[in-house]
Structure 1
Amino acid sequence: MRWTAEPSDIEKAQPIKASSKSTSIANKAPHKTVLVCFSHLRWRFVYQRPQHLMSRFATTYHVLFFEEAVFTDIDMPWLEKRLEDNLHVLVPHLPETYQGAIAVDAQRNLLDEYLAEIAASDIISWYYTPMSLPYSDHLRPRLTVYDCMDELSAFRGAPPSLVEQERRLIERADLIFTGGISLFEAKRQLHDNVHPFPSSVDIAHFGAARKPQPEPEDQASLPRPRLGFFGVIDERLDIALLEKAATQRPEWQFILIGPVVKIDPDTLPKLPNIHYLGPKSYAELPQYLASWDVALMPFALNEATRFISPTKTPEYLAGGRLVVSTPIADVIRTYGDSGVVKIAKTPEEFIRAIEESLKELPHHERVWQLADAALSDMSWDTTWKLMEEQMRCAV
């Protein structure tokens, strides 16, 4: 079970022991419900839905963020334990030789040993990946939640067994959340307690981009106009569209921020006006966004993007930027009539939409008003509280 949706520097980590601080907090578990979150996304990867939600749930529950296993040249399995954002990140490290049932048993044993160590008795199981089910299906939680943020089976490299494991998880789940309306429409046919919770936004965090910010060194020398994208660079990116737009408008600077995942970096277009700045921390993103003229979402139209509800849409808008996006269903449904998100399918339409957006730059106050209207009542705090309400009703 080595399918992980992203690479991580954690694979280079050395075995460490839990700190005394970590142990003392862990010993408080009997006084709180233990929420075990099984995730295919690394905590230290791009800060997104799991991090936003679990850091908030950690104020109510004793949260364990259980990541997929890391396979290394070691002799015996061990469990890495880290304290981050008031929750525990747990990472199984397994020998390379462990395959199939042996790997499943090892992860189950590491999980059970840790739950016994903290004397966990009242448990909620929260799944982002069905592939965690084989080593956790023996647990008897009082509530099982499946937060389906993406249609993982459509992603490149997804294991053949994922569809079957998701079927099993849906059967076991008491409650299913979805990351968008399109996913909700698909999953509600399979379960009678499904609720849509589209991607939300930390408005205060990204709203900082509406004020002058210190220029990051790797962006400061780039001329304008600057057209930016931040997020994972993978098979969901329309490389051909990006290359054609950059070729036809060599005076425009296309800035891409984020890790390259599951695709060969050599396949990305190499042009003087396309700049790959690599991954940045969540804290740094408003500094980059602040000096972009237009924010981009050049997604390909394929199976991997059929159900997505991009978090970056409200993040761009909170930063006061006009957005140009390809016709993603949930983007059109949620923001198509907002006046601040332009939809374009072909390279020619994409270029034209950017040109129209650039003409609106002098009218930033109007843009901000429309963006604020589109984001009204939207926040991760609200999403978290509404999810907790559904969880109480499901018990």
Structure 2
Amino acid sequence: MSWAGPFQYDLGKSGRPAPARQRSYPADAPTLLCLSHLRWSFVYQRPQHLMTRFAEDWPVLFFEEPIASERAEPWLEEREEEGVRVLVPRLPPDCTAAAAEDAQRRLIDDYLARNPPARLLLWYYTPMALGFSEHLEAAAVVYDCMDELSAFLGAPPALIERENRLLERADLVFTGGYSLWQAKSRRHANVHAFPSSVDLDHFARAREEQSDPPDQAEIPHPRLGFYGVIDERFDLALLDEVARRRPDWQFVMLGPVAKIDPARLPRRNNLHFLGGKVYDELPRYLAGWDVALMPFALNDATRFISPTKTPEYLAGGRPVVSTPIADVVRGYGDSGLVRFAASPTAFVGACAAALADARDRATLCRRADALLAGMSWDDTRARMKERIEWLMS
């Protein structure tokens, strides 16, 4: 097994902090304060896609979870990323949970006092942020529920109770897929499903002939690849068995390892864990694959997921093989572009069929374009914004 370690975390789109851009906004433009459990510099996904687009219209603040600091007093790290102001609370390492919430409340209050918004729009990705933001007065409160966080490994015990409170306060709830919409619409009167969207132009670059990245160039074909976080949602046993049965296929795995021991990763000569890659690099890796994979485990953590990589893989002109994740089956089951299998035997068969599909790339791309029409992040932002502005009008 090839091993490119230690695993690195993605750093936004290009791996470098974006230069500050001066933007002017209308005097009455709301300031969008996004409270996120995901770091801006982790895998580039839904929060980054949406916040960079909303920053074209409104000032956007992205408030992350805290990081330990050597200083005795809490302080707020600030930087600019693609027009978004990223705020990172830096707290003394000995902070208790209660002290951490109190410190974050003071930091956010101080920032807003120094930079008073005309109106405040609160946007939550994590209900846990209520502990330091519930007191803020807002023109509207949005809960963008992209995952069922309570089902994830290591979820805080207070998460369910805080989500109940957030659903009581939220004016508008968005969900990252239809399964989540079904679950949350029983608990809130204003819920709208916005499944995974795609940056079509970005991933269409994978359809072009280009050189391989250096760490992929020596890997033979056929190549079957995956990119994304490798955590409790990833079926390592399935990947290991499929790789064992087909030693002539090469499996390229890109992404940081999170919440699981890297020692659990299977080791075979045809398994290549190349670590995390930045968003801008993904099309170049994807261009060198024959088939794209989504070997997710079927467990509580994947019951409600709607993987963004599904439309990204298709935009890149690659056939997809996935375990039968409910939202993927619902959205792509009739497309003929995504094959589904749960067992190692069925997964091997689906991959063999997908490799045959890959020989007619022109037909695959034409069908993918028809399927993905209207699924851009720009379209999603526009439809979300329309609902938000109606609330604040």
TM-score, structure 2 length as denominator? 0.93
Q: Distance in 2 between matches of 1:391 and 1:361?
A: 42
Find 2:111's aligned residue among 98, 110, 114: 114
Equivalent in the alignment of 2:337: 340
Equivalent of residue 182 in structure 2, options 173, 182, 185: 185
Q: What CA distance in whole angstroms lies between the structure 2 residues aligned with 1:165 and 1:102?
A: 18
1:230 corresponds to: 227
Cross-structure match for 2:52:
55
Q: Quick one: which of 84, 89, 96 aligns to 2:86?
A: 89
Q: What is the identity, as a one-letter code, of the residue corresponding to 2:316?
A: G
Instruction: Select 1:134's aligned residue among 126, 131, 135.
Output: 131
Q: Do residues 373 (structure 1) and 370 (structure 2) align?
A: yes
Task: Give the direction of change, closer, same or farther, for the CA distance of 1:332–1:285 in structure 2 (3 Å limit).
Answer: same
Paired with 2:20 and 2:285, the residues of 1 have a C-alpha distance of 35
Q: Does the residue aligned with 1:270 lie in a helix, a strand or coil?
A: coil
Aligned equivalents of 2:90 and 2:10: distance in 1?
13
Q: Report the CA distance between 1:7 and its aligned residue.
A: 9.4
Match of 2:278 in 1: 281
Q: Distance in 2 between matches of 1:109 and 1:7?
A: 32
How many Å separate the matches in 1 of 2:20 and 2:148? 38
Q: Which secondary structure state, in structure 1, belongs to the residue aligned with residue 360 of structure 2?
A: helix
Alpha-carbon distance in 2 for matches of 1:382, 1:120: 27
Q: How does 1:103-182 map to 2 (within 5 A)?
A: 103-182=100-179
2:75–2:90 contact (8 Å) kept in structure 1:
yes
The residue number in structure 1 matching 2:260 is: 263
Q: Equivalent residue of 1:36, what SS? A: strand
- 282 and 7 in structure 1: CA distance in 2 versus 1, 3 angstrom threshold: closer
Conserved 8 A contact 1:29-1:119: no
1:127 positional shift: 0.3
Q: Secondary structure at the match of 1:353?
A: helix
| Selected match of 1:68 from 41, 65, 69 | 65
Q: CA RMSD in A?
A: 1.9
Contact 1:253 1:274 in 2 (8 A): yes
Equivalence for 2:211: 214
User: Is 1:194 matched up with 2:220?
Assistant: no
CA contact (8 A) 1:254 1:275 kept: yes
User: Which amino acid letter does the alignment assign opposite residue 374 of structure 2?
Assistant: D
Deviation at 1:394, TM superposition (A): 2.4
Aligned length: 379
Deviation at 1:71, TM superposition (A): 2.0
Partner Cα separation in structure 1 for residue 375 and residue 94 of structure 2: 47
Q: Any stretches of 5+ residues in structure 2 without a counterpart?
A: 1-6, 12-18
C-alpha deviation, 1:31, in angstroms: 5.3
Determine which structure has greater relative contact order: mean sequence separation of CA pairs < 8 Å that are 6+ residues apart, divided by chain length.
2
Runs of 4+, deviation exceeding 6 Å: 6-10
Where 1:285 maps in the other structure, the secondary structure is helix
Q: Could you tell me which residue of structure 2 aligns to residue 15 of structure 1? A: none
For the 8 Å contact 1:30–1:120, the answer to whether it is kept is: no
Using the size of structure 1 for normalisation, the TM-score is 0.93
**Letter of the aligned partner of 1:271 in structure 2?**
R
Name the CA distance, whole Å, in 2 between partners of 1:136 and 1:63. Answer: 16
Deviation per CA, 1:214-272: give whole Å up to 9, x if none. 21000000001000000000000001100000001011100000100000000110111
Quick check: 1:107–1:135 contact (8 Å CA) kept in 2? yes
Distance 1:226 1:330 in 2: 26
Q: Percent identity?
A: 57
Asked if structure 1 preserves the Cα contact closer than 8 Å seen for 2:148 and 2:304, the reply is: yes
Q: 1:153 to 1:7 in 2, by over 3 A?
A: farther
C-alpha distance in 2, partners of 1:343/1:308? 16
Counterpart-to-counterpart distance in 2, 1:351 and 1:323: 13
Q: Which residue of 2 aligns with 1:16?
A: none
For 1:263, the aligned partner's letter is I
With over 3 angstroms needed to count, the CA separation of the structure-2 counterparts of 1:338 and 1:239, relative to structure 1, is same
Partner SS state of residue 335, structure 2: coil
2:321 corresponds, among 315, 319, 324, to 324
Within-5 A mapping of 1:6-45: 32-45=29-42
CA deviations on 1:35-74 (whole Å, 9 max, x unpaired) are 0000001001111000000000001111000001112332
Structure 1 unaligned spans of 5+? 1-5, 11-19
Task: Report if aligned partners of 1:33, 1:62 keep a CA contact under 8 Å in 2.
Answer: yes
